[in-house]
Structure 1
């Protein structure tokens, strides 16, 4: 199958997928209203095989130091899969499966699969990283850019509501220091811990409420840009390949899911 854009529909919800542009969700419309910031770098892209920044683009695999390109100097950021073209494995009216083979500059071979399921009131994204030979550390996450304002007469900006157990203290290099602190008021470009699972509610007053949920316990919230806010569930904190690596082995893939559910107000 080609990697042209795909549209899934369910009720009055419509999602556009862009396998050729990093396997991202290019848009999500509910009742004709676009919830995601559109654009080549926006929408919602998969962060894999790592999330956020890796300090100096380096991580340890046993005693071996691996060096990645510094695409956010002085760090490497957000994985490699968002820069590649994904293959469409399967499409039905409300579900699509996309696949991506890990290649250079990532130093290990493996495959990423992303399943996208749309319902009338929810979008479910599931990702898995598999290897058939060498084990390696990895992370999975999603980086959605939700529109701060949905437009329309008198429309108000989105409000974020969540109750994290802690905030990762952020150093001057934008990476967690390893200290956990009480959550501080925004604006944020910060990682939070939610041991019961990610649970963040975005409310556009008088229009829509959307809940971002995941069984994972890490979420990065980024709301320093005027046009959009980002709520990023992930399997570990930034720099996690060094601090909290999750091992992908031939017997055990790394899997994660996030569900966005919404209701009209």
Structure 2
């Protein structure tokens, strides 16, 4: 069953049973896709990675070494995706979510899972004035504490003129297994302090020292998305060459944080404790302005 929301500007379709995923978000007047368009084949595949966006909990991206050291001992993990040899993206994206509430401009989805430990996740989708807001939270249910992380995995249209602005000062370089090897200054081709086109070569890296804001301009599609994240000090940028999409993923921690010194961005949650991430994307027809300045309250 698909769930739909719309405001006077945009239309949103959700697939709760397919990992609590967004199927499509598009402009009502023109049909232009704000997230990568999902056709009937993509929907029928039952794979969140074929859709518009899916949640990442209780961690984002890959984990090495067959597991990680949890507060009560080693937690073994097995690969959970046919397309990756490492455990990836947690378990929430592979569960069926339930509709908790559905009003004219808001849907709340939730799920409970026992793997890799017991937790409850909730997503709150709000659509108003062309702005989609997603709140993702996780509550630890197991008796013993555990490390948690969160993220969202949106797929965005990529056209020749697509441009990105996202201010980050460092990037995690990675090896052939796509695991981080160390922090480095952002290379010129990956520096999005100012609006610029996406790189031609592959990017599949995590960026840090991010202010939580990004701008995505789509001149061929006639719009821009102004985005804001909280609870996400990092973003992952995935630009596969030759494909008509890219991903900029707000995440609470870098790739393989469970094995990095001090476990950056992860939260040690006791039973009943929660952590939260918010991400908003605002549709606007104003293309070419760049991100507005941050206004600091006096």
Report the TM-score when normalising by structure 2.
0.80
2:101 pairs with 1:90? yes
**Aligned match of 2:151:** 141
Distance in structure 1 (CA, Å) of the matches to 2:174 and 2:154? 21
Q: Give how far 1:251 is off.
A: 4.8
Distance in structure 2 (CA, Å) of the matches to 1:240 and 1:261? 30
1:111/1:63 CA distance change after superposition, 3 Å: closer
**Aligned match of 2:14:** 17
Distance in structure 2 (CA, Å) of the matches to 1:195 and 1:34? 26
Query: Residue 240 of structure 2: which of 215, 224, 227 is its match?
Result: 224
Cα RMSD for the two superposed structures: 1.7
- Give the 4+ runs in structure 1 shifted more than 4 A: none
**Aligned match of 1:153:** none
1:184-195 matched pairs, under 5 angstroms: 184=187, 185=189, 186=199, 187=201, 188-195=203-210
**Aligned match of 2:214:** 200
- Residue by residue over 1:187-225, the C-alpha shift from the partner in whole angstroms, topping out at 9 and shown as x without a partner, is 4111001343x2221101161111222122100010115
Secondary structure of the residue that 1:241 maps to in structure 2?
helix
**Aligned match of 1:75:** 86
Q: Give how far 1:64 is off.
A: 1.9
Distance in structure 2 (CA, Å) of the matches to 1:55 and 1:224? 22
Where structure 1 has 5 or more consecutive residues not aligned to the other structure, the ranges are 150-155
Q: Give how far 1:82 is off.
A: 1.0
Query: How many residue pairs align between the two structures?
Result: 252
Where structure 2 has 5 or more consecutive residues not aligned to the other structure, the ranges are 190-198, 287-298
The answer to whether the 8 A contact 1:130-1:254 is kept is yes
Report the TM-score when normalising by structure 1.
0.89
- Residue by residue over 1:62-98, the C-alpha shift from the partner in whole angstroms, topping out at 9 and shown as x without a partner, is 3622122213543111111111100000000110000
Distance in structure 1 (CA, Å) of the matches to 2:169 and 2:75? 33
